Structure 1
C-alpha cells in the first residue's frame, strides 16, 4: 500500500491520545520517584519491581516519541505507537502492583 492511499488518523484524535500518553507517563515517573523515596530499605526483592517499572516507563517514552513524529497520523504508525504504549502501561501497572505487594509483605513481617 502506498503512503498516499494509507488511511489517516484525525489530528484532533491523535492530539488527545498524545495528551493521555504524556499524562500517564508523568504519573508513572512520579510513582517511580515516590517509590524510590520509600522509607523501607531496598533489597534484592525490589529488583524485579524496579526492572518492570523502568522498562514500562522506557516503553511509554518510546511510544511518545513515535506519537510525536510527523508520520504518526498514518493509521499504521498510530496503531503501532498505541500497542507500544499499552505494553509499557501493562509493565508499569504490573510493577506498581508488585511494589505494593512487596512493601505490604515487608511491613507485616
Structure 2
C-alpha cells in the first residue's frame, strides 16, 4: 500500500511502523525527475509486494521529518522491518533492487 504522508499525518509514522512489518519511507521532491522515476518503480514494487507499506513524504514540505531522518538529497528511501532500520538508498533505484533490500535482510 502506498500512502502520502498527508493521509496518515506525520505524527503517526511511529504508529504505522508498529502496525506494518515492512515499511519504505520515500522522501521526494515535486521537481525531481529521479523522484518521479523512483515513484513509478515503487508502484511496480507495490504490485508484487502489497504487504509493504510505502510512505511518501515531500521533503520540501516536511522539513522536520527530513531533519529527523537526516535526509540530505531526494530521492531517499529508508527501509524498516519490524520497526527496525534496515537500509538507506539515495538516488535512483530499480524495483528489483527495492525488493532485494528486504530479501537480503530475511
TM-score category of the 2 structures, normalised to the smaller one: 0.3 to 0.5
Structure exhibiting the larger radius of gyration computed from Cα positions: 1
TM-score normalised by the chain length of structure 1:
0.32
Q: Which has the higher helix share?
A: 1
